[in-house]
Structure 1
Amino acid sequence: MRKWLSLTAVVTATAALVLPGVATAAPAAPEVRWVACPADVASPGLECGTLSVPLDYREPRGRKTEVMISRLASENREKRRGILFTNPGGPSEGLTFPFLLKALGMPQSVLDAYDVIGMDPRGIGYSSPATCDLTDEQMALGSVPPYAVTPADVRKRAEEVEKIAEQCLRSSTADELPHNTTANIARDLDSVRTALGEEKASFLGYSYGSYLGSVYATLFPKTSDRVVIDSNLGAGGWDVEGGRMFARGVEDTFPDFAKWAAAHPEHGLGSTPDQVRAKYFDLAARLDAKPSPEGVDGQVFRLLTFTGLYATGDAAFAKMAARWKALDTGAPLPPEETPVVPRVENLLSGRLHVICGDSEWPSSVRAYERNVAVDRVRYPMFGAAAANIYPCAFWPKPVEKQVRPSGRGPANVLMAQNERDPATPLAGARTTRRAFGDRAAMITVDQGGHGTYVIGKNKCANDAVTAYLLGGPRPNDTRCAAEPRSAAE
């Protein structure tokens, strides 16, 4: 059960004295060393390479770290316009993402226009992997905190995550910890651009990747070309407020499922959306008191509902409704294929390096108790989870000021955003839109789920983003109407 929970949570879920993005001395030009792709990365048409980059860009001639990139090269050199960096979010591995985008239906015109580049961010996957020596039990805690039923739950969680932070600081990769940040990942991207001999680079990133794209566009306004950021985090990325936004996202997105479930009485979850919402609280309380035979307690139920809202449509909602029905009636849970998540310990450890090193988190346990108390009332479905304490509370202070989106630079940022997103709600995306000012425009789509371009299947949004990536003018702020989705989506 613990292993299953850790996989579920995974898939869900420092002061520089120089100008950001600018080295103090020009190091030798980096070079990509092309190598065979690792066996679990190899995909048709995908090439892999490694690049040595500064661990600390303030000391460009100092110690190096290695990052691995992938390339899905354009096969139409006449239509090629450059390179397109991609990031799937997380922070997580990104080497297979170019091939995944192709499989998901990225237009051939975009594949012709760009060499699509993936990268494992520093500290993650095949890019100098970090570790916190996490135990199986600690990995079961996942990336998203558990729901704090009482204030004592926050204090218990604090004891657990303080141990994790201490392990990170004692681990064999602790010396890399201050430098595995989003700002340095953005600098790594620009090093890749230089190594590939490109004057400029475009970018497409989702979820956490939206913040990476924001930082990249802010640090490198002169060498960023077309920047598309999707399912957007707020202006501070995954900081303490970004984590709390999960609760707002659940409240925004759940009505879509409640309406669907009310229209499908065969699941017995209620005949009105209000009754379906009441069923959520009833099941959570019952499972808090007595977990299911498979070990699903209230914490797991709330987390599974949160991640279940990432996808929408008949198939996704039917799957979640069937799970609810089984838990409600005491029947066995329907069989479910467990996702294969490689290198879970490194994924969770590397993710902590980034989100804890990007910004300074509150260090007082009392602050999290207050946040949980407020958000339990404000967002009752998931607020007491999203506001709960992270290992970041016990992290050293960042060695660099947090990078936030800047309005200084070209008007080259296009945001794509579902109006209802469980992880990156519209309210957070709007803070990024405001921070960019005239540099950005945002396409909002009347649909739920996590991910818009290609993933969301909305023709209005897809056509607008594709046209921009192909060199067309950046559209103004636009709202796309909902479109019918097939049962398979």
Structure 2
Amino acid sequence: MRKTLSLAAVVTAAAGLVAVPGVSSAGTPKPEVQWVTCPADVALPGLECGKLQLPLDYREPRGRKTEVMFSRLASKNPGKRKGILLTNPGGPSEGLTFPAVLKAVGLPQSVQDAYDVIGVDPRGIGYSSPSTCDMTDEQMADGSVPPYANNSAEVRQRAGEVRKIAEQCLNSSSADELPYNTTANIARDLDSIRAALGEKKASFLGYSYGSYLGSVYATLFPKTSDRVVIDSNLPKGGWDVEGGRLMGRGVEDTFPDFAKWAAAHPEHGLGTTPQQVRAKFFDLAARLDEKPSVEGLDGRTFRLLTFTGLYGTGDAAFAKLAASWKAFDTGQPQPPQDYPEVPRVQALLAGRLHVICGDSAWPTSVGAYERNVAVDRVRHPMFGAAAANIQPCAFFPKPLEKQVLPSDRGPRNVLLVQNERDPATPLAGARSTRRAFGDRAAMITIDQGGHGAYVLGKNKCANDKVTEYLLGGQRPDDLRCAAETS
């Protein structure tokens, strides 16, 4: 039976609600872990899986429950074990396999010895009581980042499309869980995992969206959060309307790295100077807007593929992006892409919408997005008119809880790690979070591009400093790591 979440019901519930800080365990039943066999696609070497029944609404700890699944990559060295390291890969998205991913990409053995590394599917996502918005294949194809809007008419057209998605979310079988699937409650779930595992404190490592989750965790739980490392940082408000708009700036910051590389590799036919490569971008976008490719891909898709292509850096990532451009330019099919199964995309996108729309109040006027798009199309012409375009959040109910912002009250235990050029979470947003934490935080900035720094970015200076902090607890002061050519 479908459950409809009416706007009136949400407004009524919100009327008497006060902001809920980190909820004390006093009076709350201690959650008990149910250890289970990991799902087949999560059953990686060394991983164990557990489930917890946690409060859907932490104001009613003995009320209705939601199921949260987590994984553990346990330390094999009891003599060096310090505790647990909660992790989040960003998204919001599934995180059960993330401990194994970190191990595979080079998480230092010393960190694996020091911590049981914990991965979590956040509530509403993956194997944790998954959400749905009953999206069609066409709706899912647009993903989480809006399409580029060439004019106000396209913003209004998109408004009609995302209003439909919002209505589907509010009338879905998981609609009654929607107001509670927020970052604040995910942070409370993390602290419940800590308690269930019998740990007095927990450290944290999170990337991208996980940077905001880490900020909220450190803010709500200053006494039980230990060493907090947040990487590829969203601004202080997380993925709200302004955080989303920053992607336009991120592409402008990061694209020169690709343009320089492409100019040095003229065999791809994209230009022999960075200026020519940039001009090729606008030429291809305009041509595809006018006439889509042989596969029906238009300028919106080209811009989005360029945006995601800038997540990586170096020869392999840039060669893949250049091959995609060349296919567009010559009228050939796109190189093969790996896509997840449709049911997983459905749960992922629905769960992500629940979180970002429930964390903060988005503008409800379509005209506000028309103005934002018009400004950002000029200010950040490559991608600004996509990043500023309207989201389904414009048609979601008002959040039940006040937006959680980083607090400068608490221990000096937060370390930000940030590439200076990042397409999705640019340096400007990281500086916003760094300022909000005040003396609680320090930030390592790295002269490199791409999305993801610690371990993923391969910069020895940054990697060594983060590892030293996780192992020794001595947080460095603000510092800048130079680019490395090796």
In the alignment, the residues of structure 2 paired with residue 290 and residue 24 of structure 1 have an alpha-carbon distance, to the nearest angstrom, of 59
In the alignment, the residues of structure 1 paired with residue 440 and residue 207 of structure 2 have an alpha-carbon distance, to the nearest angstrom, of 19
Contact 1:16/1:58 (CA < 8 Å) preserved in 2? no
1:476, distance to aligned residue in structure 2 (A): 0.3
Q: Give SS of 2:99's match.
A: helix
Q: Give SS of 2:52's match.
A: strand
2:128 aligns with: 127
1:19, distance to aligned residue in structure 2 (A): 4.3
Instruction: List runs of 5+ in structure 2 lacking aligned partners.
Output: 1-13
Do the aligned partners of residues 464 and 24 (structure 1) sit closer, same or farther apart at CA in structure 2, a change above 3 Å counting? closer
Do the aligned partners of residues 473 and 243 (structure 1) sit closer, same or farther apart at CA in structure 2, a change above 3 Å counting? same
Q: Give SS of 1:448's match.
A: coil
1:416 aligns with: 417
2:358 aligns with: 357
1:265, distance to aligned residue in structure 2 (A): 1.2
1:364 alignment partner AA: S
Give matches, 1:32-47, under 5 Å.
32-47=33-48
1:445-472 Cα distance to aligned partner (Å, 9 max, x none): 0000000000000000000000000024
1:139-190 Cα distance to aligned partner (Å, 9 max, x none): 1121000000111100000000000001111111111000000000000000
Q: Give SS of 2:39's match.
A: coil
1:164 aligns with: 165
1:254 aligns with: 255
1:24, distance to aligned residue in structure 2 (A): 9.2
1:444 aligns with: 445
In the alignment, the residues of structure 1 paired with residue 377 and residue 230 of structure 2 have an alpha-carbon distance, to the nearest angstrom, of 30
1:453 alignment partner AA: Y
2:178 aligns with: 177
1:29 aligns with: 30
In the alignment, the residues of structure 2 paired with residue 25 and residue 475 of structure 1 have an alpha-carbon distance, to the nearest angstrom, of 35
In the alignment, the residues of structure 1 paired with residue 211 and residue 165 of structure 2 have an alpha-carbon distance, to the nearest angstrom, of 27
1:229, distance to aligned residue in structure 2 (A): 0.2
Q: Give SS of 2:238's match.
A: coil
Contact 1:25/1:60 (CA < 8 Å) preserved in 2? no
Give matches, 1:267-278, under 5 Å.
267-278=268-279
1:137, distance to aligned residue in structure 2 (A): 1.3
2:233 aligns with: 232
In the alignment, the residues of structure 2 paired with residue 372 and residue 183 of structure 1 have an alpha-carbon distance, to the nearest angstrom, of 29
Structure 1 stretch 18-27 or stretch 226-235: which is displaced more? Answer: 18-27
Give me the TM-score of the superposition, normalised by structure 1.
Answer: 0.95
2:10 aligns with: none
In the alignment, the residues of structure 1 paired with residue 47 and residue 62 of structure 2 have an alpha-carbon distance, to the nearest angstrom, of 31
1:58-111 Cα distance to aligned partner (Å, 9 max, x none): 111111111001000000000000000000000000000000000000000000
Residue 213 (1) aligns with residue 218 (2): no
2:138 aligns with: 137
1:325, distance to aligned residue in structure 2 (A): 1.7
1:87 aligns with: 88
In the alignment, the residues of structure 2 paired with residue 18 and residue 233 of structure 1 have an alpha-carbon distance, to the nearest angstrom, of 22
Residue 151 (1) aligns with residue 152 (2): yes
Do the aligned partners of residues 23 and 17 (structure 1) sit closer, same or farther apart at CA in structure 2, a change above 3 Å counting? farther
Instruction: List runs of 5+ in structure 1 lacking aligned partners.
Output: 1-13
2:99 aligns with: 98
Contact 2:20/2:401 (CA < 8 Å) preserved in 1? no
Q: Give SS of 2:431's match.
A: helix
1:164 alignment partner AA: I
Counting matched residue pairs gives: 471
Q: Give SS of 1:470's match.
A: helix
2:362 alignment partner AA: W
1:339 aligns with: 339
In the alignment, the residues of structure 1 paired with residue 286 and residue 50 of structure 2 have an alpha-carbon distance, to the nearest angstrom, of 50
Identity of aligned residues (%): 79
In the alignment, the residues of structure 2 paired with residue 58 and residue 412 of structure 1 have an alpha-carbon distance, to the nearest angstrom, of 28
Contact 1:24/1:58 (CA < 8 Å) preserved in 2? no
